Amino acid sequence: MSRAAKTTLLGTSLFALGTVYFVHWQQKTEQDAMHQGVIRDMEQQRIKRERQADFDMQRMLEAEYKKEQTVRDTTAEMGGGGTGK
């Protein structure tokens, strides 16, 4: 083989190897980014479930307190007008 042919073969081989490496690296980077997105989504769902559980607990407590306590509207007893007479 001539020197030009060997140089061409070496250049194309290096280019092909570089392309394969770059594609592999790019796929790995995209996979890691997608994995981080999945982790972030799972964390957001966990927080949402915790907040919903807290909200449900507050509703139950509110209902329980309303059973035990008498709540009346004091503004209606004042006469409503607020004129001070």
Write the pLDDT tens digit of every residue in 41-64: 999 999 999 999 999 999 999 998
Write the pLDDT tens digit of every residue in 1-52: 899 999 999 999 999 999 999 999 999 999 999 999 999 999 999 999 999 9
Per-residue model confidence (pLDDT) at position 32: 95
Please provide the DSSP assignment of the chain as one string: --HHHHHHHHHHHHHHHHHHHHHHHHHHHHHHHHHHHHHHHHHHHHHHHHHHHHHHHHHHHHHHHHHHS----HHHHTTSS-S--
